[in-house]
Amino acid sequence: MTYRVLISDPLSEDGIYPLREAEKIEVDMITDLTAAQLQEKIVDYDALLVRSQTKVTREIIANGKRLKIIGRAGVGVDNIDLDAATAHGVIVVNAPDGNTNSAAEHTMAMLMALARKIPQAYHALLQKKWDRKSHVGVELKGKTLGVIGMGRIGREVALRAKGQRMKVMAYDPFLTDDKAEQLGVSRGTVEEVVQVADFITVHTPLLKETKHLINTEAFTKMKDGVQLINCARGGIIDEEALYEAIVSGKVAGAALDVFEEEPATDHKLLELPQVIATPHLGASTVEAQENVAIDVSHDVVRLLTGDLVKNPVNMPSVPKDLMNKIEPYFYLAEKLGLFLTNVTDDVIEEITIYYAGELYEVEVAPLTRNTIKGMLKRHFGDHINDVNAAYLAEQRGIVINEQKTSTTRGFTNLITVEVKTKSGSKTVAGTLLNGLGARVVRVNNYSVDFKPQGNVLFIHHKDQPGAIGKVGSVLAEQAINIATMQVGRADVGGDAIMLLRVDKAVNEADVAVLTALPDIYGVTAMNL
Ligand X SMILES: O=C(O)CC[C@@H](O)C(=O)O
Ligand Y SMILES: NC(=O)c1ccc[n+]([C@@H]2O[C@H](COP(=O)([O-])OP(=O)(O)OC[C@H]3O[C@@H](n4cnc5c(N)ncnc54)[C@H](O)[C@@H]3O)[C@@H](O)[C@H]2O)c1
Could you list the residues that contact ligand Y (CB under 6 A)? 75-76, 96, 99-100, 103, 148-154, 171-174, 203-206, 209-210, 231-233, 257-258, 280, 282-283, 379, 383
Cβ atoms of 401 and 351 closer than 8 Å:
yes
Shortest Cβ 124–ligand Y spacing (Å): 27
Q: Which amino acid is at 89?
A: G
Q: Which of 106, 155, 187, 233 is catalytic?
A: 233
> Which residues 6+ apart lie within 8 Å of 265 measured at CB?
none
Q: Looking at beta carbons only, is 15 or 151 nearer to ligand Y?
A: 151
H or E stretch covering 511: helix 508-515
Shortest Cβ 343–ligand Y spacing (Å): 17
CA distance 78 to 85: 12
Tell me which of ligand X, ligand Y, none is bound by residue 172, counting a contact when its beta carbon lies within the kind-specific cut-off of 5 to 8 angstroms: ligand Y
Cβ atoms of 408 and 355 closer than 8 Å:
no
CA distance 172 to 167: 17
Shortest Cβ 93–ligand X spacing (Å): 13
Q: Which of 280, 379, 461, 501 is catalytic?
A: 280
Shortest Cβ 9–ligand Y spacing (Å): 13
CA distances from 263 to 43, 269, 415 (A): 28, 13, 48
Q: Looking at beta carbons only, is 42 or 49 nearer to ligand X?
A: 49
Q: What is the DSSP string of 50-106?
A: E-SSS-B-HHHHHH-TT--EEEESSS--TTB-HHHHHHTT-EEEE-SSTTHHHHHHH
> Which residues 6+ apart lie within 8 Å of 251 measured at CB?
219, 222, 225, 226, 227, 228, 242, 245, 274
CA distance 299 to 244: 45
Tell me which of ligand X, ligand Y, none is bound by residue 152, counting a contact when its beta carbon lies within the kind-specific cut-off of 5 to 8 angstroms: ligand Y
Shortest Cβ 341–ligand Y spacing (Å): 12
Cβ atoms of 521 and 460 closer than 8 Å:
yes
The CB-nearest residue to ligand Y is 151
Tell me which of ligand X, ligand Y, none is bound by residue 373, counting a contact when its beta carbon lies within the kind-specific cut-off of 5 to 8 angstroms: none
Tell me which of ligand X, ligand Y, none is bound by residue 166, counting a contact when its beta carbon lies within the kind-specific cut-off of 5 to 8 angstroms: none
Taking Cα atoms as reference points, which of 388, 384, 418 lies closest to residue 401? 418
50-89 residues in contact with ligand X (CB under 6 A) are 51-52, 74-76
CA distance 419 to 312: 26
The Cβ of residue 127 has, within 10 Å, a number of other Cβ atoms equal to 7
Cβ atoms of 291 and 98 closer than 8 Å:
yes
Among 12, 99, 291, 388, binds ligand X (CB under 6 A): 99
Q: Which of 262, 287, 350, 358 is catalytic?
A: 262
The CB-nearest residue to ligand X is 74
The phi and psi torsions of 316 (rounded to 5 degrees) equal: -90, 120
Q: Looking at beta carbons only, is 231 or 456 nearer to ligand Y?
A: 231
Q: Looking at beta carbons only, is 56 or 150 nearer to ligand Y?
A: 150
Tell me which of ligand Y, ligand X, none is bound by residue 232, counting a contact when its beta carbon lies within the kind-specific cut-off of 5 to 8 angstroms: ligand Y
Residue 233 designated active-site: yes
Among 283, 351, 389, 417, binds ligand X (CB under 6 A): 283
The answer to the question of residue 22 lying near ligand X (CB under 6 A) is: no
Tell me which of ligand X, ligand Y, none is bound by residue 382, counting a contact when its beta carbon lies within the kind-specific cut-off of 5 to 8 angstroms: none
Secondary structure of 99-155 in HEC code, one letter for each residue = CHHHHHHHHHHHHHHHHHCHHHHHHHHHCCCCCCCCCCCCCCCCCEEEEECCCHHHH
Shortest Cβ 75–ligand X spacing (Å): 4
Shortest Cβ 231–ligand X spacing (Å): 9
Among 284, 408, 453, 478, binds ligand X (CB under 6 A): 284
Residue 262 designated active-site: yes
Shortest Cβ 282–ligand Y spacing (Å): 2
What CA dihedral angle connects 15, 21, 22 and 23, to 10 degrees? 160
**What sign has the CA pseudo-torsion 213, 217, 219, 221?**
negative
Cβ atoms of 61 and 19 closer than 8 Å:
no
Residue 156 designated active-site: no
Q: Looking at beta carbons only, is 289 or 341 nearer to ligand X?
A: 289
Of the listed pieces 123-131, 276-284, 353-361, 434-442, which binds ligand X according to CB under 6 A? Answer: 276-284
Ramachandran category for residue 267: left, alpha or beta (phi over 0 → left; psi -120 to 50 → alpha): beta
Tell me which of ligand X, ligand Y, none is bound by residue 176, counting a contact when its beta carbon lies within the kind-specific cut-off of 5 to 8 angstroms: none
Shortest Cβ 107–ligand X spacing (Å): 12
Tell me which of ligand Y, ligand X, none is bound by residue 51, counting a contact when its beta carbon lies within the kind-specific cut-off of 5 to 8 angstroms: ligand X
How open is the CA angle 199-202-208, to the nearest 5 degrees?
140
Tell me which of ligand Y, ligand X, none is bound by residue 475, counting a contact when its beta carbon lies within the kind-specific cut-off of 5 to 8 angstroms: none
Q: Where on the chain is the footprint of ligand X (CB under 6 A)?
A: 51-52, 74-76, 99, 280, 282-284
Catalytic residues: 233, 262, 280
